[in-house]
A and B are shown apart, each in its own frame.
Chain A
Amino acid sequence: MRELTRHGLSLAALALAAAPLGCVGDLGSGPAAPEGFECVGGACVELAASSSRFPRLSEEQWENTVRDLLRLETRSGLTATFPPDAPSGLFDNNGAELSVSGDLRLEYQRAAERLAEQVTSDTAALMRILPSGLPASGEARVQGFVERFGARVYRRTLSSSEVATYTALFARGTELYPDLDPFVAGVRLSLEAMLQSPHFVYRAELAPHVEGAPSTLLTAHELASRLSYALWGTMPDDDLFEAAASGALDSSEGLGVEVDRMLEDPRAEDMLVRYHEQLLSVRTYGDLSRSSTLFPAFSPEARTAMGDEVRLFVRDVFEEGGGVRELLTARYTYANEALAEIYGLDGVSGPEMRRVSLEGSRRGGLLTMPGFLAANSSSTESDPIHRGVFVNHRILCAPLPAPPMLVEPLPAEDPSMPRTMRQRVTLHTGPGTCGASCHATMINPIGFAFEQFDAVGAFRERDRNGLEIDAADAYAFRGQVRSYEDALELSAILAEQRMTHSCYAEHLLQFVHGRAPAQSDEVLLRRLTRASLNDSTSLRGLVRVLVTSETFRQRSTRELDELPSLEME
C-alpha cells in the first residue's frame, strides 16, 4: 500500500467525503466497499494499514525500555553516543524508517555490556531484575530466570528452543566471567545477549498470516507492546503483561479497561507532550536568535520559557479533559518573568512558570504563544509568510503546492515611503503578482492575522514605523469563506473547522501508530475527526479511539511498497 503524503490524504479525504459510501454507520449505503474497508456478505471491517513487522525502537523508546526492563531509577543516557536516528517525516518514532547500521550495532553491543556489568555489579540492582519466587539454586533457577526475565525482554513468552539457547549461553558465563559467582556470570552474559537480540531491539510482530486474508490479528502480547509503545513509549508494565497473558486484551471491554488505566499514567501525558513538541517544532525554539538592539527582552531565559510554556499548557489541556478546541482557544497560559515581559504581563516574577490568565488580551491557544510566533519570524521582523505556511501545513493540512526555487526576496524597505509588513508582502506576493495563486488566497490571509505580534511574539498595534497594523482577513475553508479581525478570531474559527480537526487526527494517528498514514486509514480518520469536531472529544479520548480501533489490533498482510520518482532536469 502506498503511503500518502499529507496533501494526498487530504485530497483523498475530500474525494471520499463527496462520494456516496456504503457499509456501516453514517457512511450511507452502496454496492462497493469504501477505501479502508473490507466488506464480505454485507459486513464491513476496517482494514489495517501496511506497516513494518519489525519497527525498531527509537532512541527515546530504547532508553525508556532499558530503564523499565532493568528497573533503573533513571534513564541510562547511553543513547548519547548512539548515531542519531535518521530523520524521517514529522515524528521521530516511525519504526519502519529506523534501521540498524554497523555503528549502531556496535553501540548496542557497548551499551549491553555496560548495562550488564552495571546491574550484575550491584546486588540491589541485580535483585531488582530477578523474578520473584525464583528457586534458590540449580538448573531450575537458571531456567526460571531465562524464561521469566526473557519474557520481559522479548515482551512475549519465549519458545522452548529460545529458552534452551539462552540456558546454554547462561552456562558459559562461568567460563567467560571466571571471577564472578556462576549465577551472576550467567545473568551478565545473558543480559549482554538479550539486550542485543532483534526481539528486544525491534517490536517484532510475528503472528503468521492467514492465507488470503487482508489482515491478521495481533497476538495479545503484540497488542500489549503496541499499546505500551503508543501510549508510554516503553515496554509493557507487569499489569499489561498480565492482561495479555490472561486474555483480557482479547475483548474490546478488556482492552478498554487497560487503555483507560494506561491513559491515567503520567507516561501517557509525557507522550502527548512529545507529540505536540514535534508537531509544533518546539525543539527549534532553543535555537532562536533575535536582534538584541530591537528586542532587548529576548533572552535565553525567554527562549527556554517559550518551549516550557507549550509543554505545560498541553499538560493542562490533557489533564483537564480538553481537546483540539482548547488547544487553539484557551484563554490562559504559563509564563515566568522572562516570558511575561514579552506578554506584557505584570506581577509575574522569577524563573518559575505559573498559570496566567489571558482574558482581556488578544491571545488564546497555541497559535498566539510567543514560541510559534518567534519561530516563524526573522531576527528583526514578523514573517507572515512562514506563519501562514506553518498553519496551512501543520494545523490545516492544506494542499499547499511547493514554492518555486527562484524566489525573489522581498524588496528592502524604502525609508522614504514606509509600509507595513503586510503592505510589503502584498505588493510582492499578493493579487496581481506571480505569487498570487497561493500567497493571496492561502498563505497571506493566515499570516496577516498574526501581524499584531512582532518577531518575538510581543503584541503591538503599530509597527516600528508607527504604522497601524491591519490583522483582518478572510480564508476559504474548503470553499467556505470566513472573515476574522485578528489572530484570536482566526484561532476561534480554526477550532471549528473540519480541516483543523481532520489534520490533527491525521498527525495524531501518525504519531500514536508510529507510521505514515495510508489510504486505508481513511475510515478511522473520519471517525476521529467526527469525535473531535462534533463531540468535542478530549485529547485523551482521541488517543483512546486510536488505540481501541480495529486497525490497531491488526496487522496488514500487504507489503510496504516504494514511492514514485521525478523528472530529470
Chain B
Amino acid sequence: MPRLDRRRFLLGLGGVAVALPFLESIHSPPRASAGPDRFRFAFFVRAGNGVAQRQRGWVDGVEQDIEPERFWPRELGRISSDSFRGADSDRATSELGAFADRISLVRGVNRPFNTPSCGHSDSIVQLLTSAQIVSGSANDAAALDKSIDWRIAEQLNPPGRDPMTLMAGPRDAYIRENLSWRGARERTPAERSPLNQYMRMMGITSAPPDIQERVITRQNSVNDLVRDELQALVSRRDLGVVDRRRLTQHMEAIRDTEISLLSCESTHADFMSRLGEISNVEANDVRVDVVERHMEVLALAAACNYTHAGTLQVGEGNDQTQYQIGSTRLPRFHWISHRIYSDGAEGETIPDAATLHHQVDRLQLSMFRHLLTRLDMHESPYGGSMLDDGVCVWMNDLSNGPPHGGNNVPWILAGSAGGRLRTGQYVDAGGVHYNRMLNTIGTAVGCTNDSGGALEDFGDAGLTRGRVEALVAG
C-alpha cells in the first residue's frame, strides 16, 4: 500500500478537516523506512511515582501482603472487555477495558541499573534508554545513550525532524523532564505548551501562494548562510569531539522548507483556539487538560505522518500534581506515593493513601485512554483505525508506592503497529530489562539494526539482547 503524504484528521464531533500545511524537509532525501510503506509510530506516555500494585513485606516476623493488588488483572492470559467489566473491574487497568483486545499488559519488566542516588532521578533516565547512567539526584542524573524515540526518529523521520517531546508539568521542579535523550548526557527539552507544539508542526499556514513562495525562498536563503557558517565551524581541525557533535546536531536541525499542501480550513483556527484556552499550561489545576491537549497534538502528528516517535511526560520526575478526584483535591501525588504528607521519610500519615494512589492510577490510565480514543476515532487508510497503525505505550518509571522499586515496572502497549504486535493479553515478560521492550517496540514500528534485521541490540550492550517474543505477532 502506498504511503500517504497526509491524511485528513477529524477533530471532535463537530470537527471538519484540518488540511495539512506543514513543512517537509527536502534538504536531503529521507532515509528509506524499513518494511512496507505503512506509516507506523510509537508514542510513549510516562507516569511517575509507581502504581498501587501488590506489595509484600514482613510484619511481626511474618511475610504477608502489606498492600493488596489494585493494578493488574487477576489472571495472566487473554483479557477482554467483559473481564474488566466483571471480576477485574476493581483493578486500575480496567480503565482500558474498552480497548482490551487492542492492548497488552506487561508485567515482569525490570529497570536495568541500580539507583545509588535518587530513585526518581536515576529511574526515569533509564526508561526509554535502557542505558547506563550518571547517577544523581534532582536533575543531575543522566543517561549515557540515546532514548528509543530518538532512535526511531533518526531512522524513520525525515532528516532534521526530532521526535516530539512533550510534558505536562512545571518548568521549575525538583526533577524536570528526563525522559528523552538525544545521546549521552543530552536530555531533550520538553514542550509544555500544546499550542506551541502545534504551531511548530503546522509552520506556514494560509498565506497566499506567492507570499508562501517568497517566504520559502527567503528562509532557505538564510538557511544556506547559517548552514555554511556551521559547516565552516565543524570543519575546523582544532574542534573537540563534544563541540563538533553539538554543532553538527545544530546543522542537521536546519531543514529547508517547501509547502506540501496549503489550505487551512476553519478547524485550524478552532483547534488553535481550543489549545489556546489554557493560559498557564504549567498550573496544577490544568494538568489533566494539558495532558489531553498534548495527546490531541500527538494524534494529529500521527494523522499528518509528521513524526514516527513522541513522548509525553506526565508531571515532574516525582509527580507533585494534586489531582482532582470527583470534587476532592488530593494531596500531592508524590506524597500519596509515600503514604505520608512529605517528600521524605517523616510526616503524618495520609489516611487510606494506597486507595488514593489507586485512584490516581485510574485517572492516569483514563488519560491514556484519551489518546487511544483520539486515534481510534479515525479510519486508517490501511484498514482498522489509526490506533492500529502504531503503538502507544504507557509506563511508569517505578513499580510501586513506598519502596519505589525497580522490578515489575508496569508497561502497557496499545495498538498492534500494523499487525506486528500481539494484543488482547496480560503477559509476564519474565524479568526482562527495558531494552527488550524497547527492541520490541522499535522493531514493530520499522527500526532495524545495522544489518537491516530486527532491532535487538538497543540499550546497554551488557544487557541480554532480543525482543519479548510474547508481544511479537506470529
Asked if B221 and A566 make an inter-chain contact with CB atoms under 8 angstroms apart, the answer reads: no
- With A83-B165, A176-B214 in contact, is A565–B144 under 8 Å at CB? yes
A189 to B224, CA, bound (A): 13
> Contact partner of B135 among A56, A109, A566, A569, CB < 8 A?
A566
Question: Would you give the shortest CB distance from B106 to chain A, in whole angstroms?
Answer: 18
User: Which residue of the partner chain, among B112, B193, B217, contacts A568 with CB atoms under 8 Å?
Assistant: B112
Most A-side CB within 10 Å, residue of B116, B197, B243, B348: B243
**Residue contact B249 to A99, C-beta cutoff 8 Å:** yes
Contacts of A437 in B (CB 8 A): none
User: Which A residues touch B135, using CB under 8 A?
Assistant: 402, 566
Report B464 CB to chain A, min CB distance, Å. 10
Residue of B nearest to A421 (CB): B346
The answer on a CB contact under 8 Å between A101 and B253 is yes
Q: Which residues of A contact B229 (CB under 8 A)?
A: 197-199
B343 close to chain A: CB less than 8 A: yes
In the bound complex, CA of A176 to CA of B216 (Å): 10
Instruction: Flag B30-60 by CB within 8 Å of A: 1 or 0 each.
Output: 0000000000000000000000000000000
Contact in complex: A103, B241 (CB < 8 Å): no
A99 close to B182 (CB less than 8 A)? yes
B-contacting 9-mer, from A69-77, A219-227, A405-413: A405-413
| Min CB gap B346→A, angstroms | 3
Check B315 for interface membership: any CB of A closer than 8 A: no
B249 touches A54 (CB 8 A): no
How distant is the Cα of A485 from the Cα of B191 in the complex, in angstroms?
48
What residues on A are CB-neighbors of B114 within 8 Å? 566-569
Which residues in A have their C-beta under 8 angstroms from that of B233?
54, 198, 204
What are the interface flags for B100-137 relative to A under an 8 Å C-beta threshold, 1 for contact and 0 otherwise? 00000000001111111111000000000000111111
CB of A563 to closest CB in B, whole Å: 5
Q: A89 an interface residue at 8 Å Cβ cutoff?
A: yes
Q: A284 with B174: in contact, given A172-B221, A569-B111 (CB under 8 Å)?
A: yes
A28 to chain B, nearest CB (A): 34
User: Within 8 Å of chain B (Cβ to Cβ): is A257?
Assistant: no
Contact B192 A53, beta carbon cutoff 8 Å:
no
Contacts of B171 in A (CB 8 A): 84
A428 and B345 contact, CB distance less than 8 A: yes
User: B78 near A: Cβ within 8 Å?
Assistant: no
Q: Are A568 and B462 in touch, CB under 8 angstroms?
A: yes
Question: How far apart are A538's CB and chain B's nearest CB, in angstroms?
Answer: 29
Counting CB contacts under 8 A, is A106 at the interface?
yes
A386 and B239 form a contact (CB under 8 A)? no
Q: Find residues 199-228 in chain A having any chain B CB closer than 8 Å to their own CB.
A: 199, 201, 204, 206, 208-209
Pick out which of these stretches binds chain B: A320-328, A350-358, A373-381, A469-477: A373-381
CB <8 Å contact, B250 and A99: yes
Complex: how many Å from CA A169 to CA B113? Answer: 53
Assess whether A85 is interfacial by the CB under 8 Å rule: yes
Known: A189-B222, A566-B116. A105 touches B250 (CB 8 A): yes
Across the interface, which residues of A come within 8 angstroms of B241, CB to CB?
Answer: 559
Say yes or no for A360: interface residue by CB 8 A criterion. Answer: no
CB of A104 within 8 Å of the partner chain: yes
Task: Report the bound CA distance from A96 to B463 in whole Å.
Answer: 30
**Mask: chain B, 299-340; 1 = CB below 8 Å from A; 0 = not:** 000000000000000000000101000000001100100111
Which A404-425 residues have C-beta < 8 A from chain B?
405-410, 412-413, 421, 424-425
Quick check: is B246 within 8 A (CB to CB) of the other chain?
yes
Residue B184 lies at the interface, judged by CB distance under 8 Å to chain A: yes
Measured between beta carbons, the chain B residues less than 8 angstroms from A196 are 222, 226
Asked whether A96 lies within 8 Å of B242 as measured between CB atoms, the reply is yes
Is B466 positioned at the interface, with any CB of A under 8 Å from its CB? Answer: no
Contact flags B254-288 to A (C-beta < 8 A → 1, else 0): 11000000000000000000000000000000000
Give A416 Cβ to nearest chain B Cβ, in Å. Answer: 16
Residues of B within 8 A of A381 (CB): 341-342, 346-348
| C-alpha spacing A405/B243, complex, angstroms | 36
- Note all chain B residues with C-beta closer than 8 A to A565: 113, 132-134, 144
Main SS at interface, chain B: loop
Q: Measured between alpha carbons, how far is A176 from B165 in the docked complex, in Å?
A: 34
Task: Report if B219 contacts A (CB, 8 A).
Answer: yes
Give chain A residues whose Cβ lies under 8 Å from the Cβ of B137: 402
The reply to whether the CB of B218 lies closer than 8 angstroms to some CB of chain A is yes
The answer on a CB contact under 8 Å between B344 and A383 is yes
Within residues 276 to 315 of chain A, which ones have a CB less than 8 A from any CB in chain B? 283-284, 286-287, 289
Cβ–Cβ contact A568 & B463, under 8 A: yes
- CB of B352 within 8 Å of the partner chain: no
Q: Which of B142, B225, B239, B344 contacts A169 (CB 8 A)?
A: B225
Q: A78-110 vs B: 1/0 string, CB under 8 Å?
A: 000101111111000000110111111111010
How far apart are B49's CB and chain A's nearest CB, in angstroms? 14
Task: Report the separation of the CA atoms of residues A103 and B222 in the bound assembly, to the nearest whole angstrom.
Answer: 17
8 Å CB interface, A344-395 against B: 378-381, 383, 385-386
B243 to chain A, nearest CB (A): 5
A379 touches B189 (CB 8 A): no
Q: Please tell me if the beta carbons of B348 and A380 are within 8 angstroms of each other in the complex.
A: yes
Instruction: Point out the residues of chain B lying under 8 angstroms from A105, CB to CB.
Output: 250, 253-254
B341→A378 contact, CB < 8 A: yes
- Residues of A155-175 whose CB lies within 8 A of B: 165-166, 169, 172
Q: Provide the residues of chain B in CB contact with A88, threshold 8 Å.
A: 139-140, 187
Contact with A along B434-469 (1 / 0, CB 8 A): 000000000000000000000000001011000000
- Closest chain B residue to A562, Cβ basis: B184
Q: Which B residues between 157 and 199 are near A, CB-CB below 8 angstroms?
A: 160-162, 165, 170-174, 176-178, 182, 184-193, 196-197, 199
Nearest 4 interchain pairs by C-beta: A410-B346, A565-B132, A87-B139, A378-B342
30 A-B pairs, CB-CB below 8 angstroms? Answer: A5-B136, A54-B246, A84-B171, A84-B192, A101-B188, A102-B255, A105-B253, A176-B214, A176-B217, A176-B218, A189-B221, A193-B221, A198-B226, A198-B230, A204-B233, A208-B238, A284-B172, A287-B320, A289-B332, A378-B342, A378-B344, A378-B348, A406-B403, A406-B404, A409-B339, A428-B346, A562-B184, A562-B185, A565-B113, A566-B116
Chain A residues within CB distance 8 Å of chain B: 5, 52-54, 56, 81, 83-89, 96-97, 99-107, 109, 112, 165-166, 169, 172, 176-177, 189, 192-193, 196-199, 201, 204, 206, 208-209, 283-284, 286-287, 289, 378-381, 383, 385-386, 402-403, 405-410, 412-413, 421, 424-425, 428-429, 559-560, 562-569
With A100-B249, A193-B226, A565-B134 given, name 6 new contacts (CB 8 A). Answer: A89-B139, A100-B253, A101-B162, A101-B249, A106-B200, A198-B250
